[in-house]
Amino acid sequence: MQVGGGNDQLMSEINVTPFVDVMLVLLIIFMVSAPMMVEGIDVNLPRASSAAPLKTDEENLVISIQKDDQVYLNDQVIDIQFLTEKLQKIFENVEKKDLYLKADKDVSYGIVVNVMAKVKAAGVTSLGMITIPEEE
């Protein structure tokens, strides 16, 4: 930079200090907010010795049953009476009809069986149960 003088030339250097400041502020915001972004419904999953990690790159439908018998389809609350109809509409033009069930370990067995029957009635070909691997 030149101070004074009669040169009317443009400065060709970029001041990156404001850019770095903005990027650091954005980084801090994301670092603080990322742990707050919880995916799915909070369910106390049972442990199973044969639990294997899911290896898939695609987004799957998950039915969650909470301790208070509240049923969710992904993040949306759904009435169990309309579960079959809703799943039939979702899988209407889908070739691969896969679904995962995530139930709290304190949910009564009857509720889980009822949901599984509704899922089967909707024509779902593959139903996976989500559990936590048992520690050795």
Considering 21-25, 46-50, 99-103, 128-132, the range whose residues carry the highest mean pLDDT is 21-25
The predicted model gives 49-72 an average pLDDT of 74
Specify the higher pLDDT residue, 57 or 86: 86
- Give the number of domains in the chain: 1
Residue 9 lies in a domain: no
100 burial type by CB count under 10 A (0-12 exposed, 13-18 middle, 19+ buried) = middle
Q: Using one digit for the tens of pLDDT, what is the confidence trace for 8-18?
A: 677 778 888 88
- The total number of residues shown for the chain amounts to 136
pLDDT for the residue 75: 83
Q: What share of the chain is helix, strand, coil (3-state, %, to 5)?
A: 30, 20, 50
Closest CA to 104 of 45, 61, 41: 45
pLDDT for the residue 20: 92
Residue 1 lies in a domain: no
Residue 123 lies in a domain: yes
Residue 28 lies in a domain: no
Residue 116 lies in a domain: yes
Q: What range does the domain containing 127 cover?
A: 47-133
